[in-house]
Structure 1
Amino acid sequence: MGLQANFESLDETLAWKDDEMLECVSVVPEAPNTATFSFRAPSGAWFKYQPGQFLTLELPVPGGTVWRTYTISSSPSRPLSISVTVKAQADSIGTRWMLDNLRPGRMLKASGPAGLFTLPKRPNGKFLFISAGSGITPSLSMTQYLFDRGQSPDISFINCAKRPSEIIARRQLEGMAARVPGLKLNFVVEEDDPYQVWTGYRGQLNQIMLGLIAGDYLEREVYCCGPDPFMQAVRDMLNGLGFDMANYNQESFGAPVETAADAPEIDDVVPEETAAAEISFAASGVMAACTETDTVLAVAKASGLNIPSGCTFGICGTCKVKKTAGEVHMVHNGGISEEDVEAGYILACCSNPIGRVEVDI
């Protein structure tokens, strides 16, 4: 309460305005093609913003100026400087220029801060931060802010990365977690680094991992940031687990939202118990009526057909069948490859028919 009150009562006339250029004061490597750039206001002005907001930088790249938007990775509880953590992709222009050319002493024009992806005004609840890659930056700002309030926050923190060496700000996060018992860190990687020991989660984040990491996820406010397919997968997981999506917040690191009108409409497919569906088991000549909340496996068994199955939770892959027509909503837990999905295969145990569906059984 004290930190929030003091922060809001700071003299507005001393706050940085974006008509003043920023001076780069430090560059800290974080991971391959990733660095944190910190800036100060030459006038000595302090920075006022909300954790999770973004800054737009004007970058003088060869061929003409470009404007790039980055989530602020520092915390407003430390208002004498402001930082962004950026990761260059293969086709990056502005971010690549920053990594190759931006050094302490260089001045940049910036606008902001802005954005709606922020914590509640009185952030005293239970939080679940889920991110992938450089989508970690708003979670990092929020976590640092909650840590700096001086009381142990209640945060379950999940970040997904390609490999351990690509986890951004890992030491910073571990330093905070070592001092407050309420911050629980969990990292999920797709693959190990050669000759390095990794004892954490591997693979793609799924419902089972989520339950193991944060068993009380139904009680938490979720903040999610990452590539659109990642956030779609997280929403599908939460919808499938009965999470109240009124407590879900997201922001794509590719397109931060400045006003509510700019926010893209989320229209996820959620199977409905009252919506009629139909499954044609083509090889058996059986047609079965059902609802969208029935699984292909359950309907097959009720129709006297046998689809081999094991876990019934999308893990083992035993119930993989070929879908030859129609659409299903499938939320699996790693039991099928992307290549098989693209080829038309589904896991019968976790696939819900949407309308009329035909499978090769």
Structure 2
Amino acid sequence: MILKANSALRDSWTDDELLECVSLLPETKDVVTICFQAPSGRPFGFDAGQFITLELPVPGGPLYRTYTISSSPSRPLSLTITIKAQPDSIGSRWLMDHLKPGMMLKAIGPTGVFTTTEHPASKYLFISAGSGITPMMSMTAEIYDIGRSCDVVLVNCARRPSEIIFRERLEHIASRVEGIDIKWVVEERDPFKPWTGFQGRFNQLMLGLVAPDYLEREVFCCGPEPFMQAVREALSVLGFDMDHYHQESFHPPEGIGESTPYDAAEDDSLPQEDELAEILFDLSGVKQSCPETETVLSAARGAGVAIPSGCTFGVCGTCKIRKLSGEVQMVHSGGITDDEIEEGYILACCSYPRGKVELDI
């Protein structure tokens, strides 16, 4: 299907319409970019850096996985995600092995606040490792497409030069404008291929070399949690104002898990294991009793009520549902806005019922 140029004038795509896979492009080993379009031809409206949650028809029931959008909102007729299949991955492996052009998938979103729209600045420093480069690709491409003067330093760390995702595309962008500077850091070079860039693990010394004026920049960081922790510590030690540091992760910080969010003995106001709550799933007509220390999502699963979920610790917003009555204690990580909370919405994965609670599901 060829989309007409005037489709950009139509209403934007919403997640009540399935996404159609139109192509799969290999990037590096075990990394693929998947391009989606709306069958209706509607353009996509999102902020660079946001993500979507895909419903994947894996054996045993639908699986929900969250992926950052790697395309730019300045090119709205398609939407891409760039995925890397880890050895223990289920969702990404299914996409690589089974998704074909013409297949349709249900998606939720886009959403997320890890965006330059939320944090406008005159100078940016994008730091990423591995597939954490995907939101940086979207942000950098949008800045380039806008065509105004800019000041962006993009640093990406990879194991080897051959594993750098988007290398050619980003180097092309940087070659066309003066305000976008690209720095690659690798742990080791590829055999029989010279490497003249940075080599080793990203550290304070490299930070000063790649962006001497880092104290003046808005910093965005994305990658594995140990990598982001190292970046945070380096910036903090060097006196960076951490109010200007932003990070994206779909993995819980070390020590945080769905089953042990509280030490209830420390504070009587926290949910108590020996106190029972009762949840009414209104549309399903199901009632479920559970300890106050059990999440709404866990209780729903125990009652056989399906609530879509992704990260399970309050970031992606996939499990957002409306509370009709009652009280919950919610400890989220940015997956819901204050306005949505005001309207009665909660994230089931990180909400703990208090007494009787009625939900619109």
Task: Give yes or no for TM over 0.5.
Answer: yes
**Counterpart for residue 217 of structure 1:** 214
Does residue 1:127 correspond to 2:115, yes or no? no
Q: Which residue of 2 aligns with 1:257?
A: 315
Question: Which one-letter code corresponds to 1:220 in the other structure?
Answer: R
SS at match of 1:145: helix
1:52-67 aligned at under 5 Å gives the runs: 52-67=49-64
Q: Structure 1, residues 12-55: CA drift from partner, whole Å, max 9, x if none? A: x6110101111111111111111100100000101000110001
Deviation at 1:123, TM superposition (A): 3.8
Partner residue of 2:355?
A: none
For residue 47 of structure 1, what is the aligned residue in structure 2?
44
Report SS of the residue matched to 1:205. Answer: coil
| Structure 2 residue 161 is matched with structure 1 residue 164 | yes
The residue number in structure 1 matching 2:175 is 178
Distance 1:237 1:122, change over 3 A: closer
Matched letter for residue 112 of structure 2: G
- Tell me the distance in 1 between the aligned counterparts of 2:95 and 2:226: 27
- Asked which structure has the greater CA Rg, the reply is 1
Whole-Å separation in 1 of the counterparts to 2:24 and 2:193: 26
Q: Is the 8 A contact 1:45 1:80 kept in 2?
A: yes
Question: Which residue of 1 is the match for residue 80 of structure 2?
Answer: 83
Deviations 1:103-133 (A, max 9, x none): 2111111110011111136845100000011
Q: How far is the alpha carbon of 1:257 from its aligned partner?
A: 2.7
Secondary structure at 1:14 match in 2: coil
CA distance in 1, matches of 2:190, 2:250: 25
- The one-letter amino acid of 1:211's match is G
Deviation of the 1:258 alpha carbon: 4.5
Instruction: Give how far 1:65 is off.
Output: 1.8
Q: Deviations along 1:212-233, whole A, 9 cap, x unmatched?
A: 1100000000000111111110
Cα separation, 2, equivalents of 1:111 and 1:258: 10
Query: Which segments of 5 or more consecutive residues in structure 1 lack a partner in the other structure?
Result: 1-9, 265-361
In structure 1, distance between residues paired with 2:240 and 2:18: 44
Cα 1:121–1:64 shift into 2, 3 Å: closer
Give distance in 2, aligned partners of 1:90 and 1:171: 26
Instruction: Tell me if 1:105 matches 2:102.
Output: yes
CA–CA separation in structure 1 for the residues paired with 2:332 and 2:173:
34
Q: Decide whether the 8 Å contact of 2:55 with 2:63 is kept in 1.
A: yes
Secondary structure, in 3 states, of the residue corresponding to 1:250?
strand
Change in Cα spacing, 1:36 to 1:80, as seen in structure 2 (3 Å) is: same
Judge conservation of contact 1:160–1:189 (CA < 8 Å) in 2.
yes
> What is the deviation of 1:207?
0.6
Q: In the alignment, what sits opposite 2:150?
A: 153
Contact 2:52 / 2:108 at 8 angstroms: preserved in 1? yes
| RMSD value, Cα | 1.8
Structure 2 CA distance, aligned partners of 1:235 and 1:124? 19
CA shift at 1:262, angstroms? 2.4
Assess if the C-alpha contact under 8 Å between 1:36 and 1:86 holds in 2.
yes
User: How far apart are the structure 1 equivalents of 2:228 and 2:119?
Assistant: 26
Count of matched residue positions in the alignment of Structure 1 and Structure 2: 254
Amino acid at match of 2:113: L
Which of 65, 69, 72 is the equivalent residue of 2:66?
69
- Secondary structure at the counterpart of residue 176 of structure 2: coil
Q: Percent identity?
A: 59
Match of 2:188? 191
- Whether the aligned pair in 2 keeps the contact of 1:71 and 1:253 (CA below 8 Å) is no
Question: What SS does structure 1 have at the residue aligned with 2:16?
Answer: coil
- 1:1-361 correspondence to structure 2 within 5 Å: 14-120=11-117, 123-254=120-251, 255=311, 257-258=315-316, 262-263=332-333
TM-score of the pair, normalised by structure 1: 0.67
Q: 2 CA distance for matches of 1:202 and 1:88? A: 25
Paired letter, 1:210: L
Output the amino acid matched with 2:198: Y
CA apart distance, 1:73: 0.4
One-letter amino acid of the structure 2 residue matched with residue 209 of structure 1? M
- Rounded to whole Å, the distance in 2 between the matches of 1:78 and 1:191 is 35
Q: Distance in 1 between matches of 2:39 and 2:246?
A: 35
Answer whether contact 1:54 1:112 (CA < 8 A) is retained: yes
* Shift, 1:62, TM fit: 2.6
Alpha-carbon distance between aligned partners in 2 of 1:126 and 1:154, rounded to the nearest angstrom: 5
Q: CA separation in 1, counterparts of 2:119 and 2:215?
A: 20
CA 1:30–1:135 in 2, change beyond 3 Å: closer, same or farther?
A: same
Q: Which one-letter code corresponds to 1:156 in the other structure?
A: V
Partners of 2:49 and 2:119 in 1: CA distance: 15
